[in-house]
């Protein structure tokens, strides 16, 4: 019997995603044996420092990748949002699964939406992208860092430390917390991060057998969108902690990609969007990034990187 071992982080969301891939593999190939190999990553161990200050790309994926290279695991399941743009030699991003709701969610026990928050309210998020867009809409708000997995973040909200918190809707929905979403942030007010809501599967580049098992899990429209979004980030040389939004949708045969780069305090946001054939997804992402750079995105990003040091 063929066994496929899935390297996964131990957070509730990571385990959900690994279980999802396991269930999908078994649904398509009932003859397989699929096992989870849970492990801790560097990113899971550093909980007290804001992510933006730790730097280092791929904090949450290195250990999983080493396990595949060592043959202790065959595939790794990732939130595409957390996957660095480049892969180590010998590994590849093989499969992109159907996207869950890509929007940011407004979660509060008292308020229905962002515009209901009283003047000066404290909002929790650890994402520079969300921070930037929140302050642009509501300069009066105090944005405070909010780390931890989804359960921890909800507990901090319930403790009364924040009037509201912003999380990815996808994580909440997958973990059964959909009813905690007070409202969804419209994408033109909170443009999602590249890859948000999509699950990706990484494997060894030469492991043709595993790649054949994975093939039916692929979702072509999600792949096109995520490739466009990631190409934009790659061209901007943005890591995972940058005030960059990138979000694509497919309309008929055409792909519509929106992007932004902003100052963390929301004082300046550069936006642009492009449309083109779905087949040109990556070129669209690169072209959008070039436009943003020409409009001053590099100046904004340099200031962000300097402030983080």
Catalytic residues: 82
Residue 101 engages ligand PBG in binding (rule: CB under 6 A): no
Residue 171 engages ligand PBG in binding (rule: CB under 6 A): yes
Sheet holding 244-251, edge to edge: 244-251, 254-262, 269-277
Stretch 213-252: interaction string toward ligand PBG, x if CB under 6 A: ----------------------------------------
Judged by CB under 6 A, the stretch of 162-170, 176-184, 221-229, 266-274 that binds ligand PBG is 162-170
Q: Total number of residues binding ligand PBG (CB under 6 A)? A: 9
Closest by alpha carbon to 249, among 214, 284, 201? 284
CB of 206 to ligand PBG, least distance (A): 28
> Toward ligand PBG, which CB reaches closer, 221 or 276?
221
CB atoms within 10 A of CB 40: 11
- Is the alpha carbon torsion for 289, 290, 294, 295 positive or negative? negative
Contact 242, 248 (CB under 8 A): no
Q: Which of 43, 58, 124, 197 binds ligand PBG (CB under 6 A)?
A: 197
Residue 25 engages ligand PBG in binding (rule: CB under 6 A): no
Residue 170 engages ligand PBG in binding (rule: CB under 6 A): yes
Judged by CB under 6 A, the stretch of 38-46, 77-85, 218-226, 301-309 that binds ligand PBG is 77-85
Residue 168 engages ligand PBG in binding (rule: CB under 6 A): yes
β-pairing, 122-124 vs 164-168, is parallel
Residue 11 engages ligand PBG in binding (rule: CB under 6 A): no
**DSSP classification of residue 95:** E
Contact 81, 130 (CB under 8 A): no
Judged by CB under 6 A, the stretch of 76-84, 115-123, 273-281, 301-309 that binds ligand PBG is 76-84
Contact 141, 222 (CB under 8 A): no
CB atoms within 10 A of CB 27: 10
Phi, psi of 135 (to 5 degrees): -70, -30
Summarize as ranges the residues that interact with ligand PBG (CB under 6 A): 79, 81-82, 167-168, 170-171, 196-197
């Amino acid at each position: 019997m063929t066994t496929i071992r899935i390297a996964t982080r131990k957070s509730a969301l990571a385990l959900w995603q690994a279980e999802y891939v396991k269930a999908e593999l078994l649904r398509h190939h009932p003859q397989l044996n699929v096992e989870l190999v849970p492990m801790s990553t560097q990113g899971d161990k550093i909980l007290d420092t804001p992510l933006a200050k730790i730097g280092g790309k791929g904090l949450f994926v290195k250990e999983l990748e080493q396990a595949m290279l060592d043959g202790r695991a065959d595939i790794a399941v990732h939130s595409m949002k957390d996957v660095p743009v480049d892969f180590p030699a010998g590994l590849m991003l093989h499969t992109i699964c159907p996207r869950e709701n890509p929007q940011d969610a407004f979660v509060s026990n008292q308020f229905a939406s962002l515009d209901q928050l009283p003047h000066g309210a404290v909002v929790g998020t650890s994402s520079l992208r969300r921070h930037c867009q929140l302050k642009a809409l509501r300069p009066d708000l105090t944005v405070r860092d909010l780390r931890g997995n989804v359960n921890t973040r909800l507990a901090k909200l319930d403790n009364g430390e924040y009037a509201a918190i912003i999380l990815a809707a996808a994580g909440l929905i997958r973990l059964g917390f959909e009813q905690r979403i007070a409202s969804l942030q419209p994408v033109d007010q909170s443009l999602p991060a590249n890859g948000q809501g999509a699950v990706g599967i990484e494997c060894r580049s030469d492991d043709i057998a595993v790649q054949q098992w994975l093939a039916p899990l692929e979702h072509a429209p999600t792949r096109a969108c995520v490739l466009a979004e990631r190409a934009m980030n790659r061209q901007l040389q943005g890591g995972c902690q940058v005030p960059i939004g990138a979000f694509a949708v497919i309309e008929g045969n055409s792909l519509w990609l929106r992007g932004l780069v902003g100052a963390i305090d929301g004082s300046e946001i550069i936006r642009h969007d492009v449309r083109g054939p779905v087949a040109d997804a990556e070129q669209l992402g690169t072209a959008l990034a070039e436009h943003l750079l020409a409009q001053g995105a590099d100046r904004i990003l340099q200031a962000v990187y300097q402030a983080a040091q």
